[in-house]
Amino acid sequence: MYELNHAIEIAEDIIGDRFGISTSQWKRYRYDIRSLKDLKEHEIVDSAYAQILKYARHPDLRTTGSEKGEYFKICLQDHVILRTIDNHPELKLLSFMVYVVTHELLHVVRFARFVQSFYASENERIKEEALVHRLTHELLRHLKLPGMHETLNFFSEKVQVETFKGGGIQR
Ligand SMILES: [Zn+2]
């Protein structure tokens, strides 16, 4: 998608610096970031910029019974993102994408390190969302990117970034 690879590069760099994750170590975090064209019907929502799903195994990966193949699929909702950019002329797509991807990767890192459970209660999830917004803000606040300041302002209004598909692992 539009600007996606660039946004992932920036986000992995910034989070890697902060949490001491090298490029090769990123491979141990099992996640995929996909845009709308690569989503199945149940992965598409209209109310969030992204949706995180936890799958039992990666579709491209052949795992044996004992091997853990669990991974997170970050499903970007292009239609919601583009609609927001259209409605807010002060926003720039790349900085907006950097915010969304950084925010999502922070969730993934926290899930993977068991700092936060994927199957949190609604209440815990609200707290986690506020915390991840704060972390994202802190990480991006000094990034010199056109429209970043406006993006940070936009998300400081307690906008929810994503939904989680809970209630068991999707297969
Ligand atoms: Zn979030």
- DSSP secondary structure string, 71-82? EEEEEE-HHHHH
**Spacing, Cα 150 to ligand 1 middle (Å):** 19
**Spacing, Cα 65 to ligand 1 middle (Å):** 32
pLDDT in tens, 77-131: 999 999 999 999 999 999 999 999 999 999 999 988 877 888 888 888 888 889 9
* DSSP code, position 42: G
- Mapped onto helix, strand or coil, the DSSP state of residue 100 is helix
Give the pLDDT confidence score for residue 124 in this predicted structure.
86
| Phi, psi dihedral angles at 7 (to 5 degrees) | -65, -40
Q: Is 142 exposed, middle or buried (0-12, 13-18, 19+ CB in 10 A)?
A: exposed
Enumerate the β-bridge partners of residue 158.
Answer: none
**Spacing, Cα 95 to ligand 1 middle (Å):** 17
Give the pLDDT confidence score for residue 167 in this predicted structure.
42
**Spacing, Cα 53 to ligand 1 middle (Å):** 12
**Spacing, Cα 107 to ligand 1 middle (Å):** 7
**Spacing, Cα 67 to ligand 1 middle (Å):** 28
**Spacing, Cα 120 to ligand 1 middle (Å):** 13
Give the pLDDT confidence score for residue 36 in this predicted structure.
93
Domain positions in the chain: 4-164
pLDDT in tens, 28-80: 888 899 999 999 999 999 989 999 998 877 666 655 554 566 788 999 999 99
Direct distance between the N- and C-terminal alpha carbons of the chain, in angstroms, rounded to an integer: 25
pLDDT confidence tier of residue 171, bands split at 50, 70 and 90 = very low
